[in-house]
Amino acid sequence: MANSLELAGRRFLTAVVSRLIRPRAGEVWSWAECPPERILLVRHDDRIGNLILMKPLLQGVRQIWPEAETAVLIGPRYAQVYQEEPEIDRLWILEKRRILGNPFLFFRFISQLRKAAYDIAIDCSHMHSFSLTGASLTYFSGAPVRVAYDRENAATFCNLMVEPLRAEHHESDILLNLLRPFVEELPETPIRLHLSQAEKEDALQKRRECTGDEGVLLGIHIGGRGSKKWAVERYESLIGKILELYDISIAVLCGPGEEEEASPLRDRFGDSVTLFDDFDLREMLGFVSVCDFFICPDTGPMHAAVAFDVPTVAIFLEDRWKRYGPVGGQHRIVRVSPVDGEEEVLTAFAQLVSQRFHEADDGHEEKSGEGGRD
C-alpha cells in the first residue's frame, strides 16, 4: 500500500512539473560545430555500485573532449567514491534532506549551478526508469544541450534523446551509450578506480595485519540489500570449507548495522578470520584493492573489486548478472538460492585460485626460459 501511494505521488509530481516546464527545442546542434568547454553529468544516487559503473562514461567524456571541464552532480552519501578520480574536475553535491527542510537552498544551489554555464548536461539515471530528480536537475542546469534516454517524460526536460538499447547490456555500457549522439564509435573504457598514495599505504598495512609479510588474502563481503542478501549461515559454511582446503588468510567485511550478523563468524572461527566492521568508504575501497581474491554479493564492494582488477566471485540471488555482474575472464558469477549454493561458490573460487597460480607458474617458466636463451 505504501509503495503504491509513493508511486502515485511521484507520478502526480512528475505531471505537475512537466506542465510547468516548457521544453526548449531547437538548441541542440548549436554546439555541434565546436567542442564543449564544460560538461555536467547528473546522477543523484545513493548507491556505490551505480557511481562506480559510471566510470566508463566519465572516461569516455575525457577521451572525446580532453580539454573540457567535467563535473558530476551526485548525492552526499557516497560522494567520496569520486575523491581521487582524475576525470572529474568538480563535484556538485546536492543534499536532498536539507533542501526539503529549507527550499531556499535549492534555488541557491540551482543559481550557482547555472552560473557554471555548462554546455552539455547528461541525465545518467536508469535507462528504463524515469527519474524526476535527475531530469529536473539536468533541465535546471541551463545547459543548451541536455541528453537523456528517451523514456516517459524525459523529452519534457531534455532535448537530445538517446534511443534505449534493445538487447540486454551491461549497466556500464548503457551509461557509456549516452555519448552515442556525439561519436560514430564509442571509446573502449574499462571500469577503474584510483586511490591516493596514503590510502594505498594504509591498505597495505591492514593487509599485513591479516597475512603477515607473505600469504594470500581472500576478502569476503557479507552485506547486501533486501533480495541481494545471502544468509550469514551460507558464508559460515563457505568459509569453513575454504579454510579446510586452503592455507589462506580471510578478511570479512560488513557494513554499518551488520556487525551483529557477523558475530557467528567471529564465534566460530576466532582468529582464523579477521573481521572488519568499522571501515569508512575510502578505507573499504583501499582494503578491497589489496585483496588477492574477493567473494561478495551484488553490492558496491563487488564493483569496487572489479574496478581494482581483483579476481572476484560474484554471488547473485536474482537474474541481474548480465546487467550488473563483473565482466572479464578473471571473474566468476554464481547464481545461488537463499538456502544453498556454497558448493557452486567454492568451485568458482577454486577456478580463480587455479587460474591465478597457473598464470604465475607460466610467468616463472617464461622468465627461466629467457634466462637460458641468454
Residue 68 Ramachandran class (φ > 0 left, ψ -120 to 50 alpha, else beta): beta
| 123 has pLDDT over 60 | yes
For the ranges 100-104, 111-115, 262-266, the one whose mean pLDDT is highest: 111-115
Average pLDDT over residues 338-366: 82
- The superfamily in CATH containing domain 15-182 is Glycogen Phosphorylase B; (3.40.50.2000)
Domain limits, the chain:
15-182, 197-369
303, amino acid identity:
H
| 263 has pLDDT over 90 | no
**Average pLDDT over the chain, rounded to whole?**
88
On the 0-12 / 13-18 / 19+ scale of CB atoms within 10 A, 255 is buried
Distance from C-alpha of 223 to C-alpha of 119, rounded to nearest angstrom: 40
Report residue 258's pLDDT band, with 50, 70 and 90 as the boundaries: confident
Q: What is the pLDDT of residues 192-248, one digit of tens each?
A: 999 999 999 999 999 999 998 889 999 999 988 788 889 999 999 999 999 999 999
Structure-model confidence comparison of residues 6 and 346, the more confident one? 346
**pLDDT, position 45:** 81
Identify the weakest region by mean pLDDT among 9-18, 96-105, 332-341: 9-18
**pLDDT, position 13:** 41
Neighbours of 200 (CB within 10 A): 14
**pLDDT, position 205:** 97
| 162 has pLDDT over 70 | yes
| 121 has pLDDT over 70 | yes
Distance from C-alpha of 49 to C-alpha of 53, rounded to nearest angstrom: 6
On the 0-12 / 13-18 / 19+ scale of CB atoms within 10 A, 169 is middle
Contact assessment for residue 276 and residue 262, using Cβ atoms and an 8 Å cutoff: no
Average pLDDT over residues 341-355: 96
Report residue 92's pLDDT band, with 50, 70 and 90 as the boundaries: very high
Q: What is the pLDDT of residues 275-297, one digit of tens each?
A: 998 899 999 999 999 999 999 99
On the 0-12 / 13-18 / 19+ scale of CB atoms within 10 A, 24 is middle
Query: Which strand ranges, in their side-by-side order, compose the sheet holding 293-297?
Result: 273-276, 249-253, 217-221, 293-297, 312-316, 332-335
Same fold, 15-182 and 197-369: yes
CATH fit for domain 197-369, picks 3.40.50.2000, 3.40.50.620, 3.40.120.10, 3.90.1280.10: 3.40.50.2000
Distance from C-alpha of 330 to C-alpha of 311, rounded to nearest angstrom: 5
For the record, the C-alpha cell of 238 comes out as: 563457505
